């Protein structure tokens, strides 16, 4: 989030967003708005704006490593985590949602694959995919 410095000395946020406040907290948000200061990478890491700092010459390797890590995870686990964390971050109860995802995990193919892969000391080959929901938008026969 950038801030514009006015001639009066005040700063106004270009696009204040609740997500930004939730990410870095109200104190850091106010500091950045009130001062209009630019922050360096270390400060961005400290306030939670970035997750890690990587030297530029190692960045491509780090991105590849993280992408490979994430690609090897169960898509069910990723979808469940995203939905549960987003629900909790919005301040909504998540216990029923967690129970539904646990049921989906217990009855899906990835649990057995994870156990088998662990026992065989091999990388898992997860196969779960989200259920396809019908598109509610009617399609034109001319399309």
46-97 pLDDT, tens digit each: 999 999 999 999 999 999 999 999 999 999 999 999 999 999 988 899 999 9
- What is the structure's pLDDT at 1? 45
Enter the tokens of residue 91.
Answer: 């301040």
The pLDDT value recorded for residue 139 is 63
CA distance 69 to 17: 30
Dihedral Cα 64, 101, 94, 87, nearest 10 deg: 40
Q: Is the pTM of this model over 0.85?
A: no
Give 56's DSSP letter. Answer: G
Q: pLDDT per residue over 2-56, tens digit each?
A: 445 445 554 555 555 788 888 888 999 999 999 989 999 999 999 999 999 999 9
Q: Residue 136: left if φ>0, alpha if ψ -120 to 50, beta else—which one?
A: alpha
- Using the structure block, give the residue that is written with the tokens 């997860």: 126
């Amino acid at each position: 989030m950038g801030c514009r410095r006015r001639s009066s000395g005040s700063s106004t946020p270009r696009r204040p967003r609740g997500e930004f406040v939730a990410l870095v907290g109200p104190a850091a948000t106010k500091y950045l708005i009130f001062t209009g200061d630019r922050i360096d990478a270390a400060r961005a890491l400290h306030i939670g704006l970035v997750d890690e700092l990587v030297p530029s010459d190692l960045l491509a390797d780090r991105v590849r490593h993280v992408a490979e890590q994430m690609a090897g995870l169960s898509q069910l686990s990723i979808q469940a985590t995203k939905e549960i964390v987003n629900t909790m971050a919005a301040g909504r109860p998540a216990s029923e949602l967690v129970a539904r995802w646990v049921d989906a995990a217990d009855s899906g193919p990835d649990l057995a694959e994870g156990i088998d892969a662990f026992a065989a000391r091999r990388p898992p080959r997860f196969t779960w995919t989200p259920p396809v929901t019908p598109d509610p938008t009617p399609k034109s026969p001319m399309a």
